[in-house]
Amino acid sequence: MGNEFWDGPDRVKVREGALRLLSAREVLEARREGDALAKEGRERALCRNACLVARALERHGKPVFDGGEAVLDALRVEDIARLADAWAAFNRDCNPSPLDGAEETARRKKAWSTRIMSAFSGACSACSALCPPRSGRNA
């Protein structure tokens, strides 16, 4: 997934590997695959979550599962729910909604604006110490 406008993390670590952000199309495909797997309406959420996990979970940059059926065969319901919840929280944090309110939007804007500066804090301090800024006429 290209990060043309997004400069944040695109993966979050979990015990099983890493969950990556999904495009809108990938989420829709996961929902459709989940709907096809579900035999009854009560199964829909579990099947959709399994298909989401299949697309999002990677280990060493490669998908851990081939599809939702493989997730359903390999993981317990609790594990699927935990991974789907972790992905949802990560996605929510990286993709804020205008419905979050003004305070939350302001908090995230501030965090994003300071992210680059805090990433470099201390990184150049050794170089800066060797070459301190000069003041005066010949600076």
Q: Per-residue pLDDT for 97 more than 80?
A: no
In the chain, what are the domain boundaries? 11-95, 101-139
Q: Is residue 37 helix, strand or coil? A: helix
Residue 116: what pLDDT? Answer: 53
- d(CA 2, CA 23) in angstroms, rounded, equals 10
Amino acid (1-letter code) at residue 47? C
Residue 53: what pLDDT? Answer: 97
Better pLDDT: 51 or 119: 51
Taking residue 92's Cβ as centre, other Cβ atoms within 10 Å add up to: 11
- d(CA 133, CA 16) in angstroms, rounded, equals 48
The hierarchical CATH code for the domain 11-95 is: 3.30.2220
The per-residue pLDDT for range 123-139, each reduced to its tens digit, is 555 555 566 566 666 65
- d(CA 107, CA 126) in angstroms, rounded, equals 31
